[in-house]
Chains A and B, each alone.
Chain A
Amino acid sequence: MTDISPAEEVEAPPVDPNEVRLTINGHEVVSTKGEMVIAAAARAGDYIPHFCYHPRLEPVGMCRMCMVDIDGGRGPMLQPACMVPVSPGMKVDTGSPATKRAQEGIIELLLANHPLDCPVCDKGGECPLQDQSFSHGPGESRYVEEKRHYEKPIAISDIVFLDRERCILCDRCTRFADEVAGDALIQFNSRGNNTHITTFPDEPFASYFSGNTVQICPVGALTAKPYRFKARPWDLAQQESTCTTCAVGCRTVVQSSHDELLRYMGVDSDPVNHGWLCDRGRFNFESVKSADRLLQPLVRQADGFQPATWSAALAEAASLILEAKAAGGPKSIAVIGGARGTNEDAFAWSRLGHEVIGTPNVYSQMGDGLPADLLLLDRATIDQAASATTIVLLAPDLKEELPILYLRLREAAEKKRSRIIEFAPKQSGLTRNAWRHFAYEPGTQVAAVEKALADPEIAAQFAKGSVVVVAGRGNLAETSTATVRAIRTVLAANPGSRILPAFRRGNVVGALQVGMRTADGGLDTRAALQAAADGKIECLVLVGADPLTDFPDTDLARRALAGARRIVAVDTFLTPSALLANVVLAASAYAEKSGTTTNIEGRVTTVAQQVNPAGNTRADWMIAAELALDLGGDFAYETIDDVTADIAWHVAGHEAITPEALATAKDGIIAGLLPAMAQAKLLEAVIPERNSYDFRLVVSRTMYDQATGTANSPSLAHLATQTMVHLHPLDLGKVGTTEGATVKMSSTRATIVLNVVADPAVLRGTAWVPFNHSGANVGDLIDCTAAVNDVRIENL
């Protein structure tokens, strides 16, 4: 047959309706609808100089440096490449004479007022203005007039300094503060030649994310206290790493000079942190070089701690463990912790616990998380959470505990991609962005969730698309039972929804995944502490764990440490718990050891060693391997890669996570299916009637508290407040007190004295107290086995 029916014609490949083809400097570039010319050019390798443009911020066209010849069909004309979206057939010339003239003009104009104090400027050497003056500037200036003068750096917050003479008014810091952080506390003031950045008088730029403005400032106008005048950029050595301050796993660059840590910078990891870091993670490197670090092993003698050699300390630790084993069998030994270090640390310690010592009592959570079996549920990535149709929050205040996750979810709500349904005992940082906020009294989570699910509007919202439940412990003064049941209720009502665990401690997910979890019949941390308090624990091993500070129930922790017959502690500082140990093994800190870490998604990324370990300290995994030798085991680990490879070999879900694979995986590798874990038994949740103890206690963490990393970083330590009780303003009358007054707060266990803050974010009838702050210790009031904790508040 000669005629060809249309159906037999070769089909042209489908054209993506969003695809846009344009020409940049003579070569064709494929772009997508809505992309700005500057971004398309950057992808194609044609750099367009700029100051105000930042790929993670909305464009403003403020600095005019990116003016290039753009021909959109009406002939070439100078247009700002950061403000013009690509269009089909567009022709862009980034090197035309007109472009060059415009760039030189803008540089000359920007330098008219810039002080050119580069020799004494921290930014000198890594300064976009310096670099672009060199590459795109005219080399000379016609301006002879006096430059603008301002008071030299003013502190716009406790950490950030602003030098307005250097500022080129690019709007990056102000846009970041407003758009990304949601703390519009810095603004342009006045106009014309007088325009400058200020805060409101006496309202500092007290954002948890202020350090990012320093990182994105294209000149030396914004500097951060911990790095001011500390180094020149060309003297810095650096490596990419992952922050382990919380469990979000932000990618960072760790920089040092002369073996001293000097700065962390955020790396733009698309699936995780978008280049941002919180101030706590950015500035707590100071704690690594703290003078209070524990630098050598200590062994308790009759007259107190004595410094010991590693062999002596390890022999002592081994003999304590062997004595314990002889006295009460392996089950009388409990290993707590492992969330502070790397996966390799946790894996070595878990092998030591499970295989060498032979105890099932190994656990890395400190009684402030949720049962580990939640990790087996269908887990969402951060990207999936930030693009879900509905995000359900049954979690602590993410702004305080997982700050960059807060930024990601806030963006999802701000850009109207997702609707947030929040269940919380107190308003959180995300409440402003929540579509629905349900305040629940401690213990009544399930009822709150069921009520919400019965609402047809909410049911319709759930039915619209994907659902991600962000699950964590919103209140340390109640058991996890009600929260777990509420999570399961949401999941049952929405099959196919995913869960993102909001576990906060550095590498807690990694530790749980590689084995720092109980074996059959093992005791978790609470049970182990209870057994120790009952005198049933012969030896307690604390691997970077400080129950006296971190376990919600301080009384139980205190009784446990007193009741445990022997204590071996491994830590970077002599913490209150380590002070009670028989042997303290000095551990290396972050940036002093390499390895891998796992974030809440299960994403495994690398952690880099940038400086030598302080003093005579060793990485936790080495300590475990050495101790194993003394106890008759041999892990045969020589390098960190041996441990990483061993994890890949032995731990289900980690098969693909080898040192070789990690070396090329830019964004890390998400662990696969984990081995089965038994569903944890929940404590019974009987909620008592209110009596004279008429405030229900809500306790959670804030970003700045007495955590080791914060308390030992001078730039951050003073940001932590004293313990105070927050009450709803209308509840003050009930107590007969006023804001700022001192009150007595009692539970059935203890009484503490603290000041009152009136806080409308707190639910009526509840009292919120931040955990682990200086002054009164709210942990004294908490019974960790009670479904809820009630307190009485009386005027002093």
Chain B
Amino acid sequence: MKFLAYIAVGVLLLLSNIARSVAAMDDGNAMATIALAAKQQNVTPAQPWVSTLRITDDDHAVISLADGERLMQRPKRASSYNDGDYDVSEFYTPDAVRLNMVLHYAGRKAGEIISIGIDSGYRAKKMTIRPALFIGYARSMQVGQAKYFTLVAGGWLGGRITHKACRDDYDRQYYCRSLTAWSDFRPRRHALEYYYQVVYTHKF
């Protein structure tokens, strides 16, 4: 029996590694834990609950993606090629408070959780993060005596980042944050995180 337990642990570790990243895996683990608990106790939480709520205003020093990953420090000043000093803070000051929230509620069956979230996005003069929507689903199923399969999946949709160029008096274009030439600016692609896990639990 102990041998079989080791095998089970190995398989489960392998499945867990499918998760896209540690952070996403943490989210997935949390949802799996809750779904499994609900199934084992055969309860369906009556009230929805919030796992994430971030409200950021224009004083916030960090610009993040919808999934919470840090994108950049909000730029304040930039040095030009000839060591000129420019105040670029206004180009990255958001024009609205940003709301980021993830809500969970129980499904019809015990052990079923449906998650939905929104990110209102980030709109500044020279950078925009489009609004994003989070959709998640978790379900724990009993497959035998003290044996459970839990399926968890979730991810953010949207949140595309776009940059606009700064222009000088000669209509030349620059990447505002560093004042490098716009022609030399290659924005890094940021994929929002998602997770999916299959967890097998055997209670000995």
Check if A and B associate.
no
B interface with A by C-beta (< 8 Å): none
